[in-house]
């Protein structure tokens, strides 16, 4: 599912939508950690979840600075991100990681767009670039690990 996050006209909308995206991602990570049968995989996914929690903290700070709305929970997309994990669970750890990789595709796209948003100030751009690097790392690990299973 292709994301539209990052196409917002105003920075406030971008920050709000990134917060929603992170909340949805955190829910998907929690579902994944719970469903993976290999404890080593769960441990790595839990470390990635921590990155998302840190992203959420920074986004909430940016929201406070810009006056953007900071949603306290995810949106309807959360059902899609966690639903993919639930379905993939029927086919094992490799399928779960492949489903998570598709979720990471959306976060990579969103942060690629955010990093070049015309209203982003230097501090925001630096954060968006760091988050993008994290998301690319998560996605690569999920893709490589799923292929090896």
Q: In the predicted model, is pLDDT for residue 77 greater than 70? A: no
Report the distance separating Cα 130 and Cα 76, nearest Å.
Answer: 26
Please give the model's pTM, rounded to 2 decimal places. Answer: 0.91
Topology classification of domain 11-148: Ferritin (1.20.1260)
Q: In the predicted model, is pLDDT for residue 125 greater than 70? A: yes
Percent of all residues in the chain with a pLDDT value above 70, rounded to a whole number: 89
Predicted pLDDT of residue 23:
94
What residues does each domain of the chain span?
11-148
Percent of all residues in the chain with a pLDDT value above 90, rounded to a whole number: 83
Q: What's the chain's average pLDDT?
A: 91
Report the distance separating Cα 125 and Cα 26, nearest Å.
Answer: 22
Q: In the predicted model, is pLDDT for residue 129 greater than 70? A: yes
């Amino acid at each position: 599912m292709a994301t539209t996050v990052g196409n917002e006209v105003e920075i406030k909308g971008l920050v709000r939508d990134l917060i929603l995206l992170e909340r949805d991602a955190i829910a998907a990570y929690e579902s994944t950690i719970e469903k993976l049968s290999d404890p080593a995989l769960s441990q790595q996914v839990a470390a990635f979840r921590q990155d998302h929690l840190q992203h959420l903290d920074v986004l909430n700070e940016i929201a406070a600075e810009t006056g953007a709305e900071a949603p306290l929970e995810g949106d309807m997309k959360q059902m899609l991100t966690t639903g993919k994990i639930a379905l993939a669970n029927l086919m094992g750890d490799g399928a779960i990681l492949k489903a998570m990789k598709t979720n990471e595709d959306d976060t990579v796209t969103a942060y690629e767009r955010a990093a070049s948003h015309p209203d982003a100030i230097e501090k925001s751009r630096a954060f968006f670039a760091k988050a993008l690097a994290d998301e690319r790392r998560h996605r690569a690990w999920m893709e490589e690990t799923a292929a090896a299973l």
